[in-house]
Structure 1
Amino acid sequence: MAQDSIFIGGGGEGYAEPEELLLKYGNRHGLIAGATGTGKTITMQIMAEEFSRAGVPVFLTDIKGDVGGMAVAGTPRESFQKRADQIGLGALSYAAMPVVFWDLFGQFGHPVRTTMAEMGPLLLSRILELTEAQEGVINVAFRLSDEQGWPILDLADLRAILQFLAENREEMSARYGNVTTASIGAIQRRLLVLENQGAANFFGEPALDIKDLMLTTPQGQGRVNILHAARLMETPRLYATFMLWLMSELFEELPEVGDAEKPKLVFFFDEAHLLFDGAPKALVDKVQQVARLIRSKGVGVYFITQNPDDVPEDVLGQLGNRVQHALRAFTARDQQALRRAAQTYRPNPRFDTEAAIREVGVGEAVTSFLEAKGVPGVVERTLIRPPASAMGPCDEAIRRQVIVSSPLAGKYDTAVDRDSAQEMLARRADQAAREAERFERDRGEDEHSRGRRYSPGGSSRSRRVEEEDAPRRRSSPSRSRSSRSDTVMDAFTKSVARSIGTRAGSAIVRGVLGGLFRGR
Structure 2
Amino acid sequence: MSNTELFKNHLAEGQVYKRDFIVLGTGVLDGIPVENAQIKVPLKTLNRHGLIAGATGTGKTKTLQVIAEQLSLKGIPSVLMDLKGDLSGLAKPGELNDFIQKRSDVIGVEYNPMGLPVELMSISKEKGVKLKATVSEFGPVLISQILDLNDTQQGVIALVFRYCDTQHLPLLDLKDLKRVLQFISNEGKEIITKEFGQVSSASVNTIMRKIIELEQQGAERFFGEKSFEVADFVRQKDGKGVISVIRLTDIQSTPKLFSTFMLSLLSEIYETFPEQGDADQPKLCLFIDEAHLVFSTASKDLLEKIEAIVKLIRSKGVGVYFCTQTPTDVPESILGQLGLKVQHALRAFTAKDRKAIQKTAENYPDSPFYDTSEVLTKMGIGEALITALNEKGIPTPLAHTLVRAPISRMNILTDSEIDSLVGNSDLVFKYNQELDRESAFEMLEQKMDEVEKAQEKAELPRPSIPKPRGRVKEEESLIEELSKNTMVRQLGRTLFRELARGILGSFSGKRR
Q: Structure 1 length normalisation: TM-score?
A: 0.86
Alignment of 1:40 onto 2:26:
no
Structure 2 Cα separation of the partners of residues 485 and 111 of structure 1: 58
Deviations 1:423-470 (A, max 9, x none): 110110111122122333xx34xx6xx87xx9xxxxxxxxxxxxxxxx
2-structure distance, mates of 1:436, 1:177: 26
Partner of 1:267, secondary structure, is: strand
> What pairs up with 1:288-367 in 2 under 5 angstroms?
288-367=307-386
The structure 1 residue matched to 2:275, chosen from 248, 251, 256, is 256
2:425 aligned counterpart, secondary structure: coil
Q: Aligned equivalents of 1:321 and 1:514: distance in 2?
A: 61
Report the residue type matching 1:331 in the other structure. T
Cα gap change, 1:514 to 1:379, in 2 (>3 Å):
farther
| 2:81 is equivalent to residue 61 of structure 1 | yes
For 1:515, the aligned partner's letter is R
Note the C-alpha offset of 1:491: 5.8
Kindly state the Cα deviation for residue 238 of structure 1 after the two structures are TM-superposed. 0.8
Moved more, 336-345 or 206-215: 336-345
Q: Distance in 1 between matches of 2:185 and 2:65?
A: 50
Deviations, residues 219-274 of structure 1 (Å, cap 9, x unaligned): 22110000111001121111111111111111111111111111111000011111
CA 1:434–1:334 in structure 2 vs 1: closer, same or farther (change >3 Å)?
same
Letter in 2 for 1:370: L
Query: Is it true that 1:518 corresponds to 2:504 in the alignment?
Result: yes
Partner of 2:6: none
Checking the alignment, whether the CA contact within 8 Å between 2:33 and 2:402 is kept in structure 1 is no
Residues 268 and 303 in structure 1, CA contact (< 8 A), matched pair in contact too: yes
Does the CA-based 8 Å contact 2:124-2:248 persist in structure 1? no
Q: For 1:173-212, list aligned pairs within 5 A.
A: 173-212=193-232
Cα distance in structure 2, aligned partners of 1:31 and 1:173:
49
Q: Tell me the distance in 1 between the aligned counterparts of 2:493 and 2:135.
A: 39
User: Which residue matches 2:27?
Assistant: 11
Q: Secondary structure at the match of 1:64?
A: coil
Are 2:451 and 1:432 equivalent residues in the alignment?
A: yes
Moved more, 407-416 or 263-272: 407-416
SS in 2 for 1:301: strand
Secondary structure at 1:234's aligned position in 2?
coil
In the alignment, residue 453 of structure 2 is paired with which amino acid?
R
1:514: Cα distance to partner? 4.6
Q: How much is the aligned-residue C-alpha RMSD, in angstroms?
A: 2.3
Are the counterparts in 1 of residues 79 and 287 from structure 2 also a CA contact under 8 Å?
A: yes
Q: Contact 1:248–1:290 at 8 Å: present in 2 too?
A: yes
| Equivalent-residue separation in structure 1 for 2:90 and 2:410 (angstroms) | 7
Task: Measure, in 1, the Cα distance between the counterparts of 2:366 and 2:21.
Answer: 23
What 5-or-longer segments of structure 1 have no aligned partner?
455-480, 497-510
Structure-2 change in CA distance of 1:435 and 1:262 (3 Å):
same
Partner of 2:490: 488
Change (3 A) 1:512 1:7: farther
Residue identity opposite 2:98 in structure 1: E
1:169 positional shift = 3.6
CA distance in 2, matches of 1:148, 1:117: 13
1:226-265 matches, cutoff 5 A: 226-265=245-284
The gaps in structure 2 that reach 5 residues or longer are 1-16, 467-482, 507-512
Partners of 2:145 and 2:336 in 1: CA distance: 25
Structure 2 residue 418 is the aligned partner of structure 1 residue 399: yes
1:397 Cα deviation from its structure 2 partner: 1.0
Shift in Å, 1:62: 1.5
State the 1:346 CA deviation. 2.0
Question: 1:178 deviation in Å?
Answer: 4.2
Matched letter for residue 347 of structure 2 = R
Where does 1:418-429 land on structure 2 (aligned, <5 Å)? 418-429=437-448
Conserved 8 A contact 2:256-2:297: no
Cα displacement (A) at 1:483: 9.0
Whole-Å Cα distance in 1 between the matches of residues 426 and 19 of structure 2? 28
Match of 2:244 in 1: 225
2:169 matches 1:147: no
Q: Secondary structure at the match of 1:365?
A: strand
Whether the 8 Å contact between 1:347 and 1:379 is mirrored in structure 2 is: yes
Code of the residue aligned with 2:87 in structure 1: it is V
> Counterparts of 1:491 and 1:315 in 2: how far apart (Å)?
59
Q: How far off its partner does 1:519 sit?
A: 3.8
Deviation at 1:107, TM superposition (A): 3.1
- Match in the other structure for 1:76: 96
Q: In terms of mean alpha carbon deviation, does 39-48 or 167-176 score higher?
A: 167-176
Classify 1:139/1:514 alpha carbon distance in 2 versus 1 (closer, same or farther; 3 Å).
Answer: farther
Question: Could you tell me whether the CA contact under 8 Å between 1:64 and 1:230 is conserved in 2?
Answer: yes
* Partner Cα separation in structure 2 for residue 207 and residue 372 of structure 1: 37
Do the aligned partners of 1:116 and 1:203 also contact (CA within 8 Å) in 2?
A: yes
- 1:272 paired with 2:271, answer no
Q: Which amino acid aligns with 1:25?
A: T
TM-score with structure 2 length normalisation?
Answer: 0.87
Which has the larger Rg? 1
Q: How far apart are the structure 1 equivalents of 2:498 and 2:177?
A: 19
Distance 1:94 1:14, change over 3 A: closer
Corresponding residue for 2:475? none
Q: Which region of structure 1 is more displaced relative to structure 2, 481-490 or 55-64?
A: 481-490
Aligned residue pairs, count: 469
**Residue matched to 1:87:** 107
Which SS does the other structure have where 1:416 is aligned? coil
Task: Kindly provide the amino acid, as one letter, of the partner of residue 340 in structure 1.
Answer: K
Contact 2:288 2:321 in 1 (8 A): yes
Are 1:106 and 1:112, in contact at CA under 8 Å, matched by a contact in 2?
A: no
1:398, CA displacement in angstroms? 1.1
> Does structure 2 retain, via aligned residues, the 8 Å contact 1:169–1:180?
no
